[in-house]
Amino acid sequence: MTLSAKRLALFGAACLAACSKGPTSIAASSYDRSCATVADCAAVYEGPVSCCGTGVGCDNTAISQRALAAYSSGVASAMQNACGGNSVCNGGGPSPGGSPSPCGTGRIACTNGLCELDTPPADGATE
The DSSP annotation for the chain comes to --HHHHHHHHHHHHHHHHH-SS--EE-GGGS--B-SSGGGEEEE--EE--GGGTT-----EEEEGGGHHHHHHHHHHHHHHHTTT-----S-SPPTT-SPP-----EEEEETTEEEEE---TT----
Has residue 6 got a pLDDT over 80? no
pLDDT tens digit string along 12-27? 334 444 444 677 889 9
Domain contains 49: yes
- Does residue 63 lie within any of the structural domains? yes
Q: How far apart are the first and last CA of the chain?
A: 64
| 96 occurs within a structural domain | no
Question: Which pLDDT tens digit goes with each residue over 25-68?
Answer: 899 999 999 999 999 999 999 998 887 665 567 888 999 999 99
Provide the mean pLDDT of the chain.
73
Q: Whole-prediction pTM value?
A: 0.67
pLDDT tens digit string along 85-117? Answer: 776 565 444 433 344 556 766 899 999 999 999
Confirm whether 14 is domain-assigned.
no
Range of the domain at 118: 23-91+102-127
On whether residue 17 sits in a domain, the answer given is no
43 lies in some domain: yes
Total domain count, the chain: 1
